[in-house]
Structure 1
Protein backbone atom coordinates (compact mmCIF):
# COMPACT_ATOMS: atom_id res chain seq x y z
CA UNK A 1 0.00 0.00 0.00
CA UNK A 2 2.94 2.38 0.59
CA UNK A 3 5.81 2.93 -1.82
CA UNK A 4 9.07 4.36 -0.45
CA UNK A 5 10.24 7.65 -1.99
CA UNK A 6 13.04 10.09 -1.24
CA UNK A 7 12.47 12.05 1.96
CA UNK A 8 13.06 15.60 0.78
CA UNK A 9 11.08 18.54 -0.56
CA UNK A 10 8.37 17.12 -2.80
CA UNK A 11 5.21 17.89 -4.66
CA UNK A 12 2.95 14.85 -4.44
CA UNK A 13 0.34 15.15 -7.17
CA UNK A 14 -2.89 13.21 -7.30
CA UNK A 15 -2.71 11.45 -10.67
CA UNK A 16 -6.42 10.53 -10.67
CA UNK A 17 -7.89 13.98 -9.92
CA UNK A 18 -10.81 15.28 -11.89
CA UNK A 19 -10.17 17.54 -14.86
CA UNK A 20 -12.53 20.20 -13.47
CA UNK A 21 -15.47 20.62 -11.13
CA UNK A 22 -17.77 19.47 -13.93
CA UNK A 23 -15.70 16.87 -15.77
CA UNK A 24 -13.75 13.85 -14.70
CA UNK A 25 -11.70 13.76 -17.92
CA UNK A 26 -10.82 16.23 -20.65
CA UNK A 27 -11.88 15.93 -24.29
CA UNK A 28 -9.10 13.38 -24.92
CA UNK A 29 -10.14 11.15 -22.01
CA UNK A 30 -7.24 12.22 -19.77
CA UNK A 31 -7.72 12.83 -16.06
CA UNK A 32 -6.71 16.27 -14.81
CA UNK A 33 -4.33 14.71 -12.28
CA UNK A 34 -2.43 12.80 -14.96
CA UNK A 35 -2.15 15.99 -17.01
CA UNK A 36 -0.94 17.92 -13.94
CA UNK A 37 1.79 15.34 -13.26
CA UNK A 38 2.92 15.61 -16.88
CA UNK A 39 2.93 19.44 -16.72
CA UNK A 40 4.88 19.45 -13.45
CA UNK A 41 7.52 17.13 -14.90
CA UNK A 42 7.77 19.08 -18.15
CA UNK A 43 8.24 22.39 -16.34
CA UNK A 44 10.64 20.83 -13.82
CA UNK A 45 12.87 19.51 -16.61
CA UNK A 46 12.96 22.95 -18.26
CA UNK A 47 14.58 24.84 -15.38
CA UNK A 48 17.47 23.84 -13.09
CA UNK A 49 15.92 25.85 -10.20
CA UNK A 50 13.45 23.02 -9.74
CA UNK A 51 16.02 20.20 -9.49
CA UNK A 52 15.78 20.02 -5.68
CA UNK A 53 12.02 19.47 -5.71
CA UNK A 54 10.82 15.91 -6.31
CA UNK A 55 7.66 15.44 -8.35
CA UNK A 56 5.90 12.37 -7.02
CA UNK A 57 2.48 10.99 -7.83
CA UNK A 58 -0.11 8.80 -6.23
CA UNK A 59 -3.73 7.95 -6.86
CA UNK A 60 -6.30 9.97 -4.92
CA UNK A 61 -5.39 12.45 -2.22
CA UNK A 62 -9.06 12.30 -1.11
CA UNK A 63 -9.66 15.93 -2.06
CA UNK A 64 -11.94 15.09 -4.97
CA UNK A 65 -14.03 18.27 -4.75
CA UNK A 66 -10.81 20.26 -5.18
CA UNK A 67 -9.68 18.88 -8.57
CA UNK A 68 -6.01 18.88 -9.60
CA UNK A 69 -4.73 18.60 -6.06
CA UNK A 70 -1.12 18.52 -4.89
CA UNK A 71 0.50 18.04 -1.50
CA UNK A 72 3.67 20.00 -0.81
CA UNK A 73 5.85 18.44 1.88
CA UNK A 74 9.36 18.29 3.32
CA UNK A 75 10.85 16.80 6.49
CA UNK A 76 10.33 18.99 9.56
CA UNK A 77 8.15 21.49 7.70
CA UNK A 78 4.48 22.34 7.66
CA UNK A 79 2.90 20.71 4.61
CA UNK A 80 0.23 22.16 2.34
CA UNK A 81 -2.52 20.75 0.17
CA UNK A 82 -3.42 22.95 -2.79
CA UNK A 83 -6.09 22.39 -5.41
CA UNK A 84 -8.50 23.82 -7.98
CA UNK A 85 -5.76 24.13 -10.59
CA UNK A 86 -6.01 23.92 -14.34
CA UNK A 87 -3.81 21.02 -15.42
CA UNK A 88 -1.39 23.12 -17.44
CA UNK A 89 2.15 24.48 -17.52
CA UNK A 90 1.15 27.85 -16.03
CA UNK A 91 -0.21 26.19 -12.88
CA UNK A 92 2.74 23.78 -12.75
CA UNK A 93 5.17 26.70 -12.92
CA UNK A 94 3.40 28.53 -10.08
CA UNK A 95 3.42 25.37 -7.94
CA UNK A 96 7.11 24.72 -8.61
CA UNK A 97 8.02 28.38 -8.01
CA UNK A 98 6.25 28.24 -4.64
CA UNK A 99 7.95 24.91 -3.87
CA UNK A 100 11.40 26.49 -4.38
CA UNK A 101 10.59 29.12 -1.72
CA UNK A 102 9.05 26.45 0.49
CA UNK A 103 12.14 24.23 0.29
CA UNK A 104 14.38 27.18 1.20
CA UNK A 105 12.23 28.15 4.20
CA UNK A 106 13.10 27.16 7.74
CA UNK A 107 9.78 25.62 8.72
CA UNK A 108 7.63 25.64 5.59
CA UNK A 109 6.21 29.13 5.92
CA UNK A 110 6.74 31.29 2.86
CA UNK A 111 6.10 35.06 3.22
CA UNK A 112 3.00 36.05 1.26
CA UNK A 113 4.97 38.56 -0.82
CA UNK A 114 6.95 35.61 -2.26
CA UNK A 115 3.88 33.63 -3.29
CA UNK A 116 3.48 33.34 -7.05
CA UNK A 117 0.11 34.74 -8.16
CA UNK A 118 -0.80 31.31 -9.50
CA UNK A 119 -1.00 29.69 -6.03
CA UNK A 120 -2.99 32.41 -4.30
CA UNK A 121 -6.47 31.14 -3.50
CA UNK A 122 -5.47 27.50 -4.05
CA UNK A 123 -4.52 26.49 -0.49
CA UNK A 124 -6.89 23.93 1.03
CA UNK A 125 -5.14 22.72 4.20
CA UNK A 126 -1.87 22.89 6.05
CA UNK A 127 -0.55 19.87 7.92
CA UNK A 128 2.01 19.85 10.72
CA UNK A 129 5.03 17.58 10.44
CA UNK A 130 5.15 14.53 12.72
CA UNK A 131 5.84 15.52 16.33
CA UNK A 132 4.83 19.17 15.91
CA UNK A 133 1.86 21.50 15.65
CA UNK A 134 1.96 24.90 13.98
CA UNK A 135 1.85 28.11 15.98
Structure 2
Protein backbone atom coordinates (compact mmCIF):
# COMPACT_ATOMS: atom_id res chain seq x y z
CA UNK A 1 0.00 0.00 0.00
CA UNK A 2 1.23 3.48 -0.86
CA UNK A 3 -0.16 6.64 0.73
CA UNK A 4 -0.55 9.58 -1.63
CA UNK A 5 -0.74 13.04 -0.07
CA UNK A 6 -3.81 15.14 -0.87
CA UNK A 7 -4.91 18.64 -0.05
CA UNK A 8 -5.91 18.96 3.60
CA UNK A 9 -9.33 20.28 4.51
CA UNK A 10 -12.91 19.08 4.29
CA UNK A 11 -13.20 16.25 1.79
CA UNK A 12 -15.54 13.68 0.34
CA UNK A 13 -13.44 10.60 -0.36
CA UNK A 14 -15.32 8.26 -2.69
CA UNK A 15 -14.58 4.59 -3.24
CA UNK A 16 -14.05 4.39 -6.99
CA UNK A 17 -14.28 0.58 -7.07
CA UNK A 18 -17.59 0.19 -5.21
CA UNK A 19 -20.33 -2.00 -6.57
CA UNK A 20 -23.17 -0.40 -8.55
CA UNK A 21 -25.84 -1.92 -6.30
CA UNK A 22 -26.53 -4.85 -4.03
CA UNK A 23 -27.06 -7.08 -7.07
CA UNK A 24 -24.70 -5.62 -9.68
CA UNK A 25 -21.00 -4.93 -9.74
CA UNK A 26 -21.06 -2.76 -12.89
CA UNK A 27 -23.51 -1.14 -15.29
CA UNK A 28 -24.17 -2.41 -18.83
CA UNK A 29 -21.05 -0.55 -20.06
CA UNK A 30 -18.82 -2.19 -17.44
CA UNK A 31 -18.52 0.89 -15.21
CA UNK A 32 -18.36 0.44 -11.44
CA UNK A 33 -20.86 2.29 -9.27
CA UNK A 34 -18.08 4.03 -7.37
CA UNK A 35 -16.52 5.40 -10.55
CA UNK A 36 -19.93 6.68 -11.66
CA UNK A 37 -20.50 8.30 -8.26
CA UNK A 38 -17.12 10.07 -8.48
CA UNK A 39 -18.16 11.45 -11.89
CA UNK A 40 -21.49 12.61 -10.48
CA UNK A 41 -19.83 14.25 -7.46
CA UNK A 42 -17.39 16.16 -9.66
CA UNK A 43 -20.16 17.26 -12.03
CA UNK A 44 -22.35 18.46 -9.14
CA UNK A 45 -19.42 20.34 -7.64
CA UNK A 46 -18.53 21.97 -10.97
CA UNK A 47 -22.13 23.12 -11.36
CA UNK A 48 -22.22 24.96 -8.02
CA UNK A 49 -19.43 27.36 -6.97
CA UNK A 50 -20.72 27.20 -3.36
CA UNK A 51 -19.32 23.65 -3.20
CA UNK A 52 -15.84 24.52 -4.52
CA UNK A 53 -14.27 24.56 -1.02
CA UNK A 54 -14.88 20.82 -0.65
CA UNK A 55 -12.32 18.39 -2.01
CA UNK A 56 -13.70 15.47 -4.00
CA UNK A 57 -11.12 12.72 -3.74
CA UNK A 58 -11.21 9.08 -4.80
CA UNK A 59 -9.46 5.91 -3.83
CA UNK A 60 -9.95 2.20 -4.42
CA UNK A 61 -11.88 0.34 -1.75
CA UNK A 62 -13.01 1.86 1.53
CA UNK A 63 -13.55 -1.71 2.83
CA UNK A 64 -17.31 -1.14 3.08
CA UNK A 65 -17.91 -3.96 0.63
CA UNK A 66 -21.13 -5.13 2.29
CA UNK A 67 -22.55 -1.83 1.02
CA UNK A 68 -22.21 -0.06 -2.33
CA UNK A 69 -21.36 3.45 -3.57
CA UNK A 70 -19.66 4.54 -0.34
CA UNK A 71 -18.03 7.83 0.61
CA UNK A 72 -16.04 9.01 3.62
CA UNK A 73 -16.52 12.57 4.91
CA UNK A 74 -13.53 13.91 6.77
CA UNK A 75 -11.98 17.11 8.06
CA UNK A 76 -9.32 17.87 10.65
CA UNK A 77 -10.60 17.83 14.21
CA UNK A 78 -14.06 16.58 13.21
CA UNK A 79 -15.90 13.32 13.52
CA UNK A 80 -15.74 11.46 10.21
CA UNK A 81 -18.60 9.58 8.56
CA UNK A 82 -18.90 6.74 6.09
CA UNK A 83 -22.09 6.77 4.06
CA UNK A 84 -23.22 4.34 1.40
CA UNK A 85 -26.01 2.65 -0.53
CA UNK A 86 -26.30 5.55 -2.98
CA UNK A 87 -27.42 5.45 -6.56
CA UNK A 88 -24.45 6.86 -8.50
CA UNK A 89 -26.44 9.78 -9.90
CA UNK A 90 -26.75 13.56 -9.79
CA UNK A 91 -29.35 13.60 -6.98
CA UNK A 92 -27.20 11.51 -4.65
CA UNK A 93 -24.09 13.51 -5.50
CA UNK A 94 -25.88 16.78 -4.76
CA UNK A 95 -27.19 15.49 -1.41
CA UNK A 96 -23.75 14.21 -0.40
CA UNK A 97 -22.08 17.52 -1.25
CA UNK A 98 -24.80 19.59 0.43
CA UNK A 99 -24.35 17.55 3.60
CA UNK A 100 -20.56 17.80 3.26
CA UNK A 101 -20.82 21.61 3.10
CA UNK A 102 -22.87 21.67 6.32
CA UNK A 103 -20.40 19.25 7.86
CA UNK A 104 -17.44 21.45 6.86
CA UNK A 105 -19.12 24.47 8.44
CA UNK A 106 -19.89 22.64 11.70
CA UNK A 107 -17.70 22.91 14.77
CA UNK A 108 -16.99 19.21 15.36
CA UNK A 109 -18.61 17.48 12.39
CA UNK A 110 -22.13 17.15 13.77
CA UNK A 111 -24.94 18.53 11.63
CA UNK A 112 -28.40 18.82 13.23
CA UNK A 113 -30.73 16.19 11.76
CA UNK A 114 -33.29 18.79 10.68
CA UNK A 115 -30.64 20.28 8.34
CA UNK A 116 -29.74 17.01 6.63
CA UNK A 117 -30.63 16.84 2.94
CA UNK A 118 -33.25 14.10 2.44
CA UNK A 119 -30.86 12.29 0.11
CA UNK A 120 -28.43 11.34 2.91
CA UNK A 121 -30.98 10.15 5.45
CA UNK A 122 -30.66 6.40 5.94
CA UNK A 123 -27.23 6.28 4.26
CA UNK A 124 -24.95 6.58 7.30
CA UNK A 125 -22.89 3.45 7.97
CA UNK A 126 -20.43 4.54 10.65
CA UNK A 127 -18.82 7.52 12.33
CA UNK A 128 -15.20 7.75 13.38
CA UNK A 129 -13.70 10.03 16.02
CA UNK A 130 -10.91 12.38 15.00
CA UNK A 131 -7.41 11.49 16.10
CA UNK A 132 -6.90 12.22 19.78
CA UNK A 133 -10.63 12.42 20.64
CA UNK A 134 -13.69 10.32 21.36
CA UNK A 135 -17.31 11.43 21.16
CA UNK A 136 -19.25 11.95 24.39
TM-score range, shorter-chain basis?
over 0.9
Take 1:87 and 1:27, find their aligned partners in 2: how far apart are those partners? 14
Aligned ranges 1:1-135 → 2 under 5 Å: 1-135=2-136
What TM-score do you get using the length of structure 1 for normalisation?
A: 0.99
Take 1:64 and 1:4, find their aligned partners in 2: how far apart are those partners? 24
Take 2:108 and 2:122, find their aligned partners in 1: how far apart are those partners? 21
Q: Deviations over 1:81-100 (max 9, x none)?
A: 00000000000000000001
Q: Deviations over 1:93-129 (max 9, x none)?
A: 0000000100000000000011000000000000000
Q: How far did residue 14 of structure 1 move?
A: 0.1
Identify unmatched segments of 5+ residues in structure 1.
none
Q: How far did residue 28 of structure 1 move?
A: 1.0
Take 1:127 and 1:6, find their aligned partners in 2: how far apart are those partners? 20
Take 2:87 and 2:3, find their aligned partners in 1: how far apart are those partners? 28
Take 1:22 and 1:52, find their aligned partners in 2: how far apart are those partners? 35
Which 4+ residue blocks in structure 1 deviate beyond 3 angstroms? Answer: none
Indicate the SS of the match to 1:67: coil
- Superposed CA RMSD in Å reads 0.4
